[in-house]
Structure 1
Amino acid sequence: MTHTTPTTSVPPGAPDDTGGSSKSDATDNRPRRRAPGPGRLLTIVLAGQLMAVLDVFIVNVAAPALSTDLHASGAGLQLVVAGYTISYAVLLITGARLGALIGHRQAFLAGLTVFTAASLACGLAPGTGALIAFRFIQGAGAAVMLPQVLSLIQRTFTGASRARALGAYSAVLASGAAVGQVLGGALVQADLFGTGWRPVFLVNVPIGLALLALGPRWLGGTEERPAAGAGGGAARRSGALDLTGLLLLAVAVLLFTVPLVLGQQRGWPLWGWVMLGLSAVLAAAFAAYEARLAGRGGAPLISPRVAGAPGMPLAIARIVLGMAANGGFLFVMTLHVQGGLGYSALRAGCTFAPTAVAFGLVGLNWQRFPSRWHPVTVPAGFVLAAVSFVGVGMALRDGSDGGAWLFVALVGVGMGLAFAYSPVLTRTLATVRPQDAADASGVLVTSAQLGLLCGVAVFGAVFLGHGPGVDASADALWVSCLALAGAALCGAIVGLVIRVRYLR
């Protein structure tokens, strides 16, 4: 498989890396411009990714303070939390295609700009309505920025360095969930200058500005462009934006996410089930349209060769199940430790530190295991996660703080989910051609996001079906942990099911 490495353009009048110059050595004494190292590129894109992923979860522990300060209704508070997630999920694949159209570096910096500005607006929002609107905009910026991370990694790294970069990517992506809880709790507890919940958004501003200052240099120069001559028109057509497909997909995802986000609070009304049914119809219409467009030689939003690439259906199923378990676990644990056990925001956030550290360490180092172990890492990870979910439920079932056994179980959850997620991402993207990186990144990250939404909705509904009080909360957590264990076991066996179907 051939990989391309982005090149760095040489500004007019500056010497190039081969020693040539548009001016003589006597008249041009400016220092040569070095191409940025791949390590700097990885630092920039992963820092941007971490900010975006944190904001999916960082608001959870700030919700009580936010509700008190803004007098937000239940529906308003739900939209503050979910508005970011909805626009993020709806626009992710579009963001990936925009990167292919205008350039991944340019799209990353544009998304980072929108995200940083919206974070400032969220932190200064005067009321619930404004905050909801700014959260939607913040999610849109993240949707443009995040798909470029995988694309830039795919196009910059090769071989073992590519695998290490993808390991760092997957560790940051899913660890951000737990890190967001910890950071959010610390910022709310600190109540900096009496600002309460606002620093959970404002913290992004100095980081975003620093990345925007370093980005143009550390991300390199211009990317390869289609040639103006033969083949250039075809290349340009492949980057065209499929507006019909975009509309079908956006509406389908919106119809899917809104009921999942609001259904529990509204008692799962009929309109929610109707929207879920319509989302399935539109998803089928989208798939049929994309197949016809590809058959006519057009440029579909999601290339059928990417969606049907070897290992992609299995990867999507496992990522959805793994992220559903991850998102659902963090959600119900937050509800239990803050509502049932009465933990402060900081203590609630720090409860997830063992899970975050374990996930990050495994995500970065799983490839160091003997290669003969690699084929079983994913199903073994799901099994370990299932056992650990049961362990968490048992440790907290009596209404106590769980003690040392809870710590062990939380570490097991992080390790299990990391083994279940990181190898899937790395192996799947290793089979994708660099020119398909944008589509693949959009599909996989959208799958992860929809998995998180499903996990919060499904396991949140299980937890919230019980009454108030410590004992009821502990019982609810126990039942939720059993359901989470069942989802993890499904992740362990889904590979066997799909492989049997392919063999027939």
Structure 2
Amino acid sequence: MTTTTPAGTGPARGPSPETSKDPGTDNRLGRLLAVVLAGQFMALLDVFIVNVAVPTIGSELHASGAGLQLVVAGYSISYAVLLITGARLGDRLGHRRVYLAGLALFTAASLACGLARGTGELIAFRLVQGAGSAVMIPQVLSLIQRNFTGEARARALGAYSAVLATGAAAGQVLGGVLVSADLFGTGWRPVFLVNVPVGVVLLAFGSRVLPRDDVRALERSRGLDLPGLVLLAAAVSLFTVPLVLGQEEDWPLWSWLSLGAAAVFFTVFCLYESRLARRGGAPLIAPRVLRHPGIGLAVFRLLAVMAVNAGFLFALTLHVQGGLGYSALRAGLTFAPTAVIFGLVGLTWRNWPAAWQRALIPAGFMIAAVAVAGVGRVLKDGGDGGLWLYVAFAGVGAGLALGFSPTLAKALATVRPEDAADASGLLVTVTQLGQLIGVAAFGTLFLNRLESLGAPGAYTSADALLACTYALAATATLGAVSGLVRRRR
């Protein structure tokens, strides 16, 4: 695939021969992909690994419900707020350098979390941990975009999608294993400390295999747009904090005012960015990225996929642990089939018949809709669902993979390498916001339904889950409809 560069930045340059090789036949590219995806996996793991440790954290640190929510969500909030800036830092300072810096910050913050003596310390270090991820993760897509082309890039993106899926389920499983093991009487602390040796190894290995940054390209890079960062950070913070704490506080007036203020700040951000672009400045997100064919539709699809995925995992976790009484480990293992199928489909869909490719996205959303509703139906009587539950789990994994992986690959197919940082930051921010929206919206639906049914138990929990899965299925159906929209030519 050839590329062009904007006027004033020099001649267009296609990919060099060494960056066009298949990662399966180029050891250097294979090692590069392994390092960046390992970092991606570790950061994603930390979004979910804490969930099963929350009861233990609460009892040992005497944390309030709101405090525990901030322990879980503090990571996601700073992650979502700083992602686009992290992408821009990579464009400005070099993707190798910024990836390693983010990895170092994430590793140090993980150590601090594992040694925290109180809830306040843990929340603060979780915010820092999320900032490290926000600096590190956008470089993953940018490094893939800049070092892989053609089918090699498609396979690398398939591996990226598989990591996103397996990280979610692996976080639940590993969290359950570590908490249940109670290593040396440390309780919940290993869920954070496990990152430290892995991070140290990746830092040592990554400093050797990641490609050196192009100094000439860095000299042409754009500024950071600090006013835009402040406006976007305010908008995202005002949006995410009430989503995280609203259910716990019974949706007080301040939560609705905060959501309204978020809309105002986001509008101001868009107006400021448009004006900055017209004046020849360097906005946080280049307008030409938003004008790339399919980017707007991809944003909606990714939001829908991640909202359904996160809402499904959250509600089902509450049901199997609270309603059915599963242990942390068994609850984590419950999600394994969904993750395995998601990973397999994400890695292989490019090899399916060409005649199927156009229909994959809408078909994937419809499969997910039917399968999610199926999970609710087979569990509706308070039982374990039997074999049909695992059939439905496989359908959820396959459907979400078909909604996510082709959407991501097609959205990035037309993005020029010089826009890779902006596109990466935008799409990864969207996936993170989708998860926050999914947990907040469908988690609230599940908890409110459970509360309205009265006495807790397997049957009432199953009834709440059924209502939630119907809402999840409706959301997936909207994704299917969006997949039928054709780009204007």
Q: TM-score, with normalisation over the residues of structure 2?
A: 0.93
Q: Which range moves more in the overlay, 89-98 or 280-289? A: 280-289
Which of structure 1's runs of 4+ aligned residues deviate more than 6 A? none
Mapping of residues 309-324 of structure 1, within 5 Å: 309-324=292-307
- The one-letter amino acid of 2:2's match is T
Whether the aligned pair in 2 keeps the contact of 1:7 and 1:222 (CA below 8 Å) is: no
The verdict on how the C-alpha distance between 1:293 and 1:6 changes in structure 2, with shifts beyond 3 A counting, is farther
Q: Which residue of 2 aligns with 1:14?
A: none
User: Which residue in 1 is equivalent to 2:211?
Assistant: 220
Asked whether the 8 Å contact 1:6–1:155 carries over to 2, the reply is no
Report Cα offsets for 1:353-409 as digits up to 9, x if no partner.
Answer: 001101111111111101111111111000000000111001111111111111111
Conserved in 2, the CA contact under 8 Å of 1:7 and 1:223?
A: no
Q: Aligned-pair distance for 1:225?
A: 2.2
Work out whether 1:86 is the aligned partner of 2:69: no
Cα distance in 2 for partners of 1:163, 1:425 equals 10
Instruction: Report what 1:480 is aligned to.
Output: 468
Cα distance in 2 for residues equivalent to 1:60 and 1:213: 30
Once the two structures are TM-superposed, the CA of residue 193 in structure 1 deviates from its matched residue by 1.4
Q: Which AA in structure 2 matches 1:450?
A: L
Query: What corresponds to 1:372 in structure 2?
Result: 355
Counterpart of 2:464, as a letter, is A
* C-alpha contact 1:6 1:224 (8 A) present in aligned 2: no
Give per-residue Cα distances to partners, 1:170-201, cap 9 Å, x unaligned.
11123311221111111111111111111111
In the aligned structure 1, how far is the partner of 2:166 from the partner of 2:361?
Answer: 17
- Distance of aligned partners of 1:199 and 1:309 in 2 relative to their CA distance in 1, 3 Å threshold: same
2:182 matched residue in structure 1: 191
Output the CA distance in 1 between the equivalents of 2:37 and 2:194: 17
One-letter code of the match for 1:195? T
Contact 1:385–1:485 under 8 Å retained in 2: yes
Structure 2 residue 237 is the aligned partner of structure 1 residue 276: no
For the residues of structure 2 that align with 1:293 and 1:416, how far apart are their CA atoms?
Answer: 40
SS in 2 for 1:301: coil
Which of residues 53, 58, 79 in structure 1 aligns to 2:49?
Answer: 58
Kept after mapping to 2: 8 A contact 1:36/1:218: no
The answer to whether residue 140 in structure 2 is matched with residue 140 in structure 1 is no
Q: Distance in 2 between matches of 1:397 and 1:495?
A: 30
CA contact (8 A) 2:95 2:213 kept: no
Q: Which residue of 2 aligns with 1:24?
A: none
Q: What is the CA distance between 1:222 and its match in structure 2? A: 3.2
State which of 162, 170, 176 in structure 1 corresponds to 2:167: 176
Structure 1 counterpart of 2:22: none
Q: 1:5 to 1:192 in 2, by over 3 A?
A: farther
CA contact (8 A) 1:307 1:313 kept: yes
* Equivalent position amino acid for 2:165 in 1: A
The 1-side partners of 2:294 and 2:312 are apart by 27
Q: Which secondary structure does the structure 1 equivalent of 2:216 belong to? A: coil
**Partner of residue 2, structure 2:** 2
Using the TM superposition, give the Cα deviation of residue 486 of structure 1 relative to its aligned residue in structure 2, in angstroms: 0.5
Matches within 5 A, 1:81-120: 81-120=72-111
User: Which deviates more, 45-54 or 276-285?
Assistant: 276-285
1-structure distance, mates of 2:245, 2:170: 25
Query: Which of 346, 349, 359 in structure 2 is aligned with 1:363?
Result: 346
Deviation, structure 1 residue 147: 0.1
Structure 2 residues not aligned, in runs of 5+: 4-13, 19-25
C-alpha change, 1:7 and 1:287, in structure 2 (3 Å) is: farther
Q: 1:208 to 1:6 in 2, by over 3 A?
A: farther
1:268-347 equivalences under 5 Å are 268-347=251-330
- Residue 96 of structure 1 contacts residue 148 of structure 1 at CA under 8 Å; is this kept in 2? yes
8 Å Cα contact 2:342-2:400 kept in structure 1: yes
Q: Which of the numbers 420, 426, 442 marks the counterpart of 2:403? A: 420
| RMSD over equivalenced CA pairs, Å | 1.6
What's the offset of the Cα at 1:220? 2.5
CA distance in 2, matches of 1:495, 1:164: 22
Deviates more, 1:399-408 or 1:318-327: 399-408
| 1:2 alignment partner AA | T
Code of the residue aligned with 2:44 in structure 1: it is V
The 2-side partners of 1:356 and 1:453 are apart by: 19
**Which amino acid is 1:293 matched to?**
L
2:192 counterpart of 1:201: yes
Deviation at 1:121, TM superposition (A): 0.7
Residue 61 of structure 1: SS of its match in structure 2? Answer: helix
Separation in structure 2 between the aligned mates of residue 198 and residue 309 of structure 1, nearest angstrom: 44
Q: Match for 1:404: what amino acid?
A: L
Q: Which residue in the other structure is 2:6 paired with?
A: none
Distance 1:295 1:274 in 2: 32
The whole-number CA distance in structure 1 between the counterparts of 2:332 and 2:418 is 40
Letter in 1 for 2:131: A
* Count of aligned positions: 467
CA distance in 1, matches of 2:217, 2:394: 48
Q: Which residue, out of 142, 165, 168, partners 2:156?
A: 165
Residue aligning to 2:30: 39
Deviation at residue 226 of structure 1 after TM alignment: 3.6
